[in-house]
């Protein structure tokens, strides 16, 4: 099966056809296919509606989180599948990491407008990833294990460092400063590479083990997914 991505700009749809058009398009997706939805309103209501129609079959990633425009990739999963914390957040690491080479290439070509657009998508996704960990995963892990001075303390501190360099990279793009962007992204990547490795090899497996069976792990993933 060849995965494909469909595009829908819902900003021009009337209120009467808005939800019906989005739901119809998602209904038509095959497993692994995705819809990139562009809208001028928050996406939580329509995502909730899709999930109610297709429980456990919906995966989404924020590409742009407003306030004027919202872009969201909504992907179809196999019915009845479950996800561990390791699978869900590990996949998101690799998805985000895969965006950086393209952005760096755009900066090298001095296409700062497109680079800024793509880096905004990266930043939106990484910020959502961090919020999911800090608001859902870390408190759950600390509650279940009693480890309130363990790995989550280190991860939170590194999140601050990652966000600092991400903001510096954004500022460099706005100034069309290729050297400054390269320096900031390099520093961010240095922290992010080791950070992701520690999460994937240590924290996520521990979180899965602490959560218990696959149903409990999948429930934790769903809580994180709903955090937009």
CB 124 within 8 A of CB 64: yes
Above 80 in pLDDT, residue 202?
yes
199 — pLDDT class (breaks 50, 70, 90): very high
Give which of 155, 183, 185, 173 is closest to 114, Cα–Cα: 173
CATH 1.20.120 fits 85-225, yes or no: yes
What pLDDT does 228 receive? 59
- The answer to whether residue 66 scores a pLDDT higher than 50 is yes
CA distance 123 to 188: 12
What's the number of CA atoms in the CB half-sphere (13 Å) around residue 63? 17
**Phi and psi dihedrals of 58, rounded to 5?**
-120, 130
Q: Which of 155, 114, 116, 159 is nearest to 138 (CA)?
A: 155
Residue 91 φ/ψ region, left for φ over 0, alpha for ψ in the -120 to 50 degree band, beta for the rest: alpha
CB atoms within 10 A of CB 88: 20
Residue 15 has pLDDT above 50, yes or no: yes
Which residues make up the CATH 1.20.120 domain(s) of the chain? 85-225
Domain limits, CATH 3.30.110.40, in the chain? 5-76
Give the fold, CATH level 3, of 5-76: Translation Initiation Factor IF3 (3.30.110)
Instruction: Quote the pLDDT of residue 70.
Output: 85
Among 41-45, 79-83, 206-210, 212-216, the range scoring the smallest mean pLDDT is 79-83
What pLDDT does residue 3 have? 56
Report the chain's C-alpha Rg in angstroms. 18
pLDDT at 130: 96
> What pLDDT shows up at residue 1?
38
For the segment 170-181, the average pLDDT, to the nearest whole number, is: 97
pLDDT higher than threshold 70 for residue 101: yes
Q: How confident is the model at residue 218 (pLDDT cuts 50, 70, 90)?
A: confident
Note the pLDDT of residue 2: 43
Closest C-alpha among 121, 157, 113, 122 to residue 138: 157
- Which tops the pLDDT comparison, 156 or 149? 156
């Amino acid at each position: 099966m060849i995965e494909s991505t469909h595009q829908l700009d819902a900003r021009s749809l009337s209120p009467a056809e808005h939800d019906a058009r989005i739901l119809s398009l998602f209904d038509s997706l095959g497993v692994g296919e995705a819809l990139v939805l562009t809208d001028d309103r928050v996406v939580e209501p329509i995502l909730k509606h899709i999930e109610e129609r297709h429980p456990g079959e919906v995966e989404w990633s924020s590409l742009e989180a407003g306030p004027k425009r919202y872009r969201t990739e909504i992907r179809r999963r196999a019915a009845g599948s479950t996800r561990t914390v390791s699978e869900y957040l590990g996949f998101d690491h690799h998805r985000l990491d895969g965006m950086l080479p393209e952005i760096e290439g755009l900066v090298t070509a001095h296409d700062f407008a497109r680079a800024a657009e793509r880096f905004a998508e990266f930043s939106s996704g990484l910020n959502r990833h961090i919020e999911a960990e800090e608001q859902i995963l870390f408190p759950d892990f600390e509650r279940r294990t009693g480890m309130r001075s363990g790995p989550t303390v280190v991860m939170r501190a590194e999140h601050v460092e990652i966000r600092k360099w991400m903001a510096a990279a954004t500022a460099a793009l706005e100034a069309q400063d290729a050297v400054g962007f390269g320096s900031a992204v390099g520093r961010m990547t240095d922290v992010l590479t080791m950070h992701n490795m520690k999460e994937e090899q240590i924290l996520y497996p521990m979180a899965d083990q602490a959560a218990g069976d696959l149903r409990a792990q999948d429930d934790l993933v769903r809580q994180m997914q709903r955090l937009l």
